Amino acid sequence: MISDKLKLMKEKALESIESASDLTMIEMVKNQYLSKKGEISLLMGELRNLNVEERPAFGQMVNQLKLEVEQALYDKKALLEEEALFDALKNEKIDVTLPGVKLYQGSIHPLNQVIEDVEDFFIGLGYEVAEGPELENDHYNFEMMNLDKDHPARAMQDTFYTDETHLLRTHTSPVQARTMLDKKGSPLRIICPGKVYRRDDDDPTHSHQFMQIEGLVIDHHIQFANLKDVLLKLAQHLFGKDRVIRLRPSYFPFTEPSVEVDVSYVKKDGTIGYIEVLGAGQVHPNVLQMGGYDPSKFQGFAFGIGVERIAILKYRIDDIRHFYQNDLRFLDQFKGVNR
Ligand code: PHE
């Protein structure tokens, strides 16, 4: 009897499905019965051997069988997949006590740490931070700073020219001129950090490229005492309350009078020594005039801090070139300093 044959096939198929213990075995059973040449598909071929009246009933039975086998396969597959998931969850426990992977963490470059520290100090005093281009016009770098074309003081600073009128700025002072013109005669207080360039041979204390922080204050009733006061406070902010400053007469074409400023330190033998950290002075009347300020009504002071000098003193660094070589053995020592 045909129906017995189908019944037997169904039992056999269900049994194989029942006993399948993983997804590959399920796949094999599926192929065996349901693929194009599978046992159930081949049954349909037998339709031809039946007479016409028997065909619909037979077709229906085969379809029914097919549906049942498919359903059984589907259920078993779902069951096995769930089991596999549970197994995976059981085996893949996460040990939350394992130490994490350490990522390398960079830090702020020591020169930028000094700049940020000085910026914070001056912003607290109401100064603004100004900027200017590194490729500067001769006009701002020299002329507006009271150094005309054949001024002898140019020789010390003459540097990298790109054409007749453009050069890599030799100091941050041109930002004084630019800011004065911007402010169109109103009082100002600025600092300006940035890179500068000089015709220097590199050695432990010289670099052809280094950093400065320019300061400029212009207002009514500005006296030399105001400059002295702010520089003393800056030195104590940077190096400690026990420090004092010493001013020595000096010369800059853009300030009059001009000074070099030294900061005190305790020498190995216990006596007090002084180290130069910046140049400063009262703004020269010519500079005020060129910048659009009437020198009979306005006064000002200016200073130029050597950033590397401050960092070298603060962190006791023996060679200026360390700052520019990006050696992590050097840079890593400044992690968390100042913060
Ligand atoms: N521009 C001077 C220099 O580079 C420093 C300075 C700035 C001096 C401002 C006085 C006033 O040496």
* 104 pLDDT higher than 60: yes
Beta bridge partner(s), residue 191: 129, 215
* Pocket lining: 255 vs ligand 1, CB cutoff 6 Å: yes
Q: How far is the CA of 58 from the centre of ligand 1 (A)?
A: 106
Residue 99 lies in a domain: no
* Tens of pLDDT, residues 1-34: 677 888 888 999 999 999 999 889 999 999 999 9
Task: Choose the residue to mutate in 136, 212, 278, 307 for probing ligand 1, maximizing ligand atoms within 8 Å of C-beta.
Answer: 212
My answer on whether 87 and 150 are in the same domain is no
Residue 336 — very low, low, confident or very high, per pLDDT cuts 50/70/90?
low
Helix (H) or strand (E) segment spanning residue 80: helix 55-91
- Domain's final residue, options 58, 91, 124: 91
What is the average per-residue pLDDT within 207-225? 96
Residue 102 lies in a domain: no
My answer on whether 171 and 252 are in the same domain is yes
* Tens of pLDDT, residues 56-88: 888 888 889 999 999 999 999 999 999 989 988
Residue 190 lies in a domain: yes
State the CATH number of the domain containing residue 168.
Answer: 3.30.930.10
Q: How far is the CA of 214 from the centre of ligand 1 (A)?
A: 7
The number of residues in the chain equals: 339
My answer on whether 186 and 315 are in the same domain is yes
Residue at token pair 């790109």: 162
Token pair in block for residue 318? 């023996």
Q: How far is the CA of 279 from the centre of ligand 1 (A)?
A: 5
pLDDT computed for residue 41 by the predictor: 85
Q: How far is the CA of 203 from the centre of ligand 1 (A)?
A: 22
My answer on whether 288 and 170 are in the same domain is yes
My answer on whether 131 and 35 are in the same domain is no
What is the average per-residue pLDDT within 103-115? 91
Residues 235, 276 contacting (CB under 8 angstroms): no
**Total structural domains within the chain:** 2
* Pocket lining: 171 vs ligand 1, CB cutoff 6 Å: yes
For residue 252, give the nearest of 210, 294, 301, 292 by alpha carbon.
301
Task: Give the ranges where 92-127 is alpha helix by DSSP (H).
Answer: 110-124
pLDDT computed for residue 339 by the predictor: 44
My answer on whether 124 and 219 are in the same domain is yes
Residues 146, 174 contacting (CB under 8 angstroms): no
My answer on whether 144 and 69 are in the same domain is no
Residue 272 lies in a domain: yes
Output phi, psi for 275, to 5 deg: -125, 135
Distances (CA, A) of 238 to 231, 232, 249, 303: 10, 10, 23, 16
Token pair in block for residue 53? 């009246």
User: What is the C-alpha end-to-end distance of the chain, expressed in Å?
Assistant: 92
Nearest atom within ligand 1 for CA of residue 171:
4
My answer on whether 130 and 209 are in the same domain is yes
Residue 216 lies in a domain: yes
The pLDDT > 90 percentage for the chain reads 69
Q: Which residue range forms the structural domain that includes residue 75? A: 2-91
Q: How far is the CA of 212 from the centre of ligand 1 (A)?
A: 9
My answer on whether 42 and 121 are in the same domain is no
283 vs 254: CA distance, rounded Å:
6
Residue 154 lies in a domain: yes
Closest C-alpha to ligand 1, atom 9: 303
Q: How far is the CA of 173 from the centre of ligand 1 (A)?
A: 7
Residue 188 lies in a domain: yes
- Domain's final residue, options 57, 91, 125: 91
185 vs 187: CA distance, rounded Å:
7
Torsion angle of the four alpha carbons 308, 311, 313, 315, in this order, in degrees rounded to the nearest 10: -140
My answer on whether 292 and 163 are in the same domain is yes
My answer on whether 217 and 69 are in the same domain is no
Closest C-alpha to ligand 1, atom 7: 304
* Tens of pLDDT, residues 281-322: 999 999 999 999 999 999 999 999 999 999 999 998 999 999
Residue 205 — very low, low, confident or very high, per pLDDT cuts 50/70/90?
confident
Residue 97 lies in a domain: no
My answer on whether 200 and 71 are in the same domain is no
